[in-house]
Structure 1
Amino acid sequence: MIKVLNIISDSNIGGAGKCLLNFIKYYNRDEFEVKVVVPAGSLLIPEIEKLGCETISADCIAEKSFDKRAVRILQSIIKDEKPDIVHTHGNLSGRVAAKICGRKIIYTRHSVFPVSPKISKGLGKFINKTMNEFLSDDIIAVAEAAKDNLTEGGISPNKIKVILNGVEAVEECSEDEKNNTMEQYGISRDDFVIGIMARMEPYKGHKYLIEAAEILKSKGYKIKVLMAGTGSCEGELKSMVMEKGLQDTVVFTGFINNVQNVLNIMDIQANASYGTEATSLALLEGMSLGIPAVVSDYGGNPGVISQGENGYIFKLKDSKDMAKYIETLITDREKYEYMSERAKEIFNGKFTAQIYAANIEDVYRNVLGGKGSHDKKEV
């Protein structure tokens, strides 16, 4: 039995936490024993334990990559648990503690963002490379763009494995459920529904979708834009919608508990990110239902959407280019149906939670040379 101790710093449930939950649901329990170290009081705790996996609460790790006190706490946990592998999700304290304890270390980079010149040049780059390679036996990047971030910081490409995120397929709702959701958001049967599921932060690019909606409405298309979520620029976006007279076109849903219901009434998904985007879980969930997407050419988006296959990729921060591709999907029904089928095919062949879990298991086996220390036969 290979013992794996995951360490995650998230108090809330973000992308890294969702990926971990998907792995926990589908990993091979006959071969692996998995436990998770989480911040005390994390919202992940009940979700992990629901899946029959043990959690260990730790102080000083919440929303922190490194803390000297956390190193001592995690060192004590690792000594008690005696795992074969310590798998950290952005947590440097965990890697340091695991190194001190002589354990195999895997580090997953879940994010994509512009790399600071402090670690992309000169001495800073050398230090970043040396530290990360010393503190990791294997590094997982969740998108090619995440790998590019790491290599820009000096880390050898040979040290990094790209493992794309995977999600559970979203179930299709009944017609009654769809009708109820459409009624809730003021959507009629002849509306073409464009949805964006992202935190309302400037770098998620919601304003470009609003500008694209203005262009499409001016051409007479009957569209509804669902903006699902909340964030720091929600007020600014609502003001923008008012100024452009798009109150009858753009719908702010606020925080939604049931993603399934909202996804089920979308014709396409949009993603306009320009500042941080790895492998969007929302795009993957939409693909499982056959929802094509129109996305920016940033971060992990081109690793999920293949141009002309399961969606379109538009030029960064270019609302006219975005509107052009949305218009194609509104007007060309044959193309839309083709993309819808391809979205399902690509999802099932590449992005399921089961595929993701199997890929992570392969990393675990490989880092141990094929088996865990606890599987060694007595001689």
Structure 2
Amino acid sequence: MRKIKILAISTSGLARKEGISTVMLDNFSRFDKSTFDLHVVAAGVYCHELLQEFENVGVSIKCLPSRKASLLLYVKSLITLFKKEKYDALYIHGSSAIMSIELLIAKVCGCKTRVVHSHNTTCDHKKADKLLRPFFYNLYTDAIACGEEAGKWLYRGRPFFLLKNGRDVNKYRYNEEVRCETRKKLGVYEDELLIGHVGNFNKQKNQKFALEIFTELLKKNNKAKLYLMGSGILLDKTKKLAVEMGLKDKVTFTGSIGNVNEMLQAMDVMILPSLHEGLPLVTIEWQIAALPSVVSDVVTSECAYSDLVTFLPLDNAITWADKIVEVVKLNRSLIAEKQVELTKTAGYDINQNAMELQRFFKDRCKG
């Protein structure tokens, strides 16, 4: 039996492990490789460790020139790839109509199933997005969105398939032993309050405001510590700002780490002061881990399937600090199993999501 051959592309690239690449990896790792032949594009700069993770789960990597640095070379290489491999489906992830480039190539090369997956509620290049919208709507055959708002943003009233960004509930569920072990490794005392944030260092994630919130929190609890997990173009600038604000000994920059699930056990509360988001994966992980969180009110309310998430506007750091003090009074052990069940009921179990996605492609590519 011939396998269904799929080419997956993330318009945000594979330079680091972030939301979209994590969703792709987690879903594809659960695909039946006797039924599917999965390929992923790595255009331009890429993370070797991330590519190795894809290969370890049976996904083939196709390295192409950078989309941003040399669009013409990228287009030529992608055309060559489609003609050689004769894909049954293109599965492209992004947040704007700029995906029309890949969709047009796939259509011209005879790829009949062209699936778009929306991951955000806005985009960085609004002029290009607006210009390409009329073409975009005529180039894809199927639409997927991680949430209702992300679907409304990209498809503008057109039908789409809702596929939630599930997580591995066994990996993130709260574990008291792991909490104690991780805090011991971090060298923190039992009475210290640990605030966490996970995200790439860029304008969207708004780590500058996170530092402002933490400054106000220290006035209420001088035993608090802030852990900023992730990397990105604004990492060095944010480190410098922390020093200027007198927070050098209170803020830890972990960089990109592979044990975020363990770090979540050690934290007491999480913050997400983003300027915009689709449906953030991290909020799902935090709820599975029975962690209270304070999130900016521009983030879609769809991400909250339990009462552990509090939404606040980005206008007052003092309000955020007050809320952190309020929500942190929680016995996580008592609600650990409840949070796992809530996650499954809400549709955020990655095993179930991967099964749905496989059925989707089997149906679209049959024959």
Give TM-score, length-normalised by structure 2.
0.82
Q: Match of 2:4?
A: 2
Question: Paired residues, what number?
Answer: 354
**d(CA) in 2 for partners of 1:311, 1:27:** 31
Residues 41-60 of structure 1 aligned to structure 2 (within 5 Å): 42=46, 43=48, 44-55=50-61, 57-60=62-65
Shift of 1:341: 5.4
Residues 108-127 of structure 1 aligned to structure 2 (within 5 Å): 108-113=117-122, 118=127, 125=130, 127=131
Give the unaligned 5+ runs of structure 2.
none
**d(CA) in 1 for partners of 2:187, 2:146:** 37
**d(CA) in 2 for partners of 1:135, 1:344:** 39
CA deviation vs aligned residue, 1:79-106 (integer Å, no higher than 9, x gap): 3333322212345443122101232101
Question: Are residue 354 (structure 1) and residue 351 (structure 2) matched?
Answer: yes
Shift of 1:135: 1.4
Q: Match of 1:189?
A: 190
CA contact (8 A) 1:58 1:73 kept: no
**d(CA) in 1 for partners of 2:212, 2:192:** 18
Structure 1 residues 65 and 5, CA gap change in structure 2 (3 angstroms): farther
Question: Are residue 269 (structure 1) and residue 270 (structure 2) matched?
Answer: yes
Q: Report the residue type matching 2:74 in the other structure.
A: A
Q: What SS is found at the alignment partner of 2:320?
A: helix
Structure 1 residues 63 and 19, CA gap change in structure 2 (3 angstroms): farther
- The two structures, once aligned, show a CA RMSD in angstroms of 3.2
CA contact (8 A) 2:173 2:340 kept: no
Q: Report the residue type matching 1:98 in the other structure.
A: A
Q: 1:105 aligns with which of 92, 98, 114?
A: 114
Q: What SS is found at the alignment partner of 2:263?
A: helix
**d(CA) in 2 for partners of 1:11, 1:117:** 22
Give the unaligned 5+ runs of structure 1.
374-379
Structure 1 residues 177 and 244, CA gap change in structure 2 (3 angstroms): same
**d(CA) in 2 for partners of 1:360, 1:265:** 33
Shift of 1:337: 6.7
Q: Match of 2:297?
A: 297
Structure 1 residues 73 and 238, CA gap change in structure 2 (3 angstroms): closer
Q: What SS is found at the alignment partner of 1:52?
A: coil
Q: Which one is further off, 43-52 or 87-96? A: 87-96
**d(CA) in 2 for partners of 1:37, 1:353:** 22
Larger radius of gyration: 1
Q: Match of 1:284?
A: 284
CA contact (8 A) 2:64 2:78 kept: no
Q: Report the residue type matching 1:266 in the other structure.
A: M
Shift of 1:312: 0.9
Question: Are residue 135 (structure 1) and residue 139 (structure 2) matched?
Answer: yes
Structure 1 residues 203 and 83, CA gap change in structure 2 (3 angstroms): closer
Shift of 1:40: 7.1
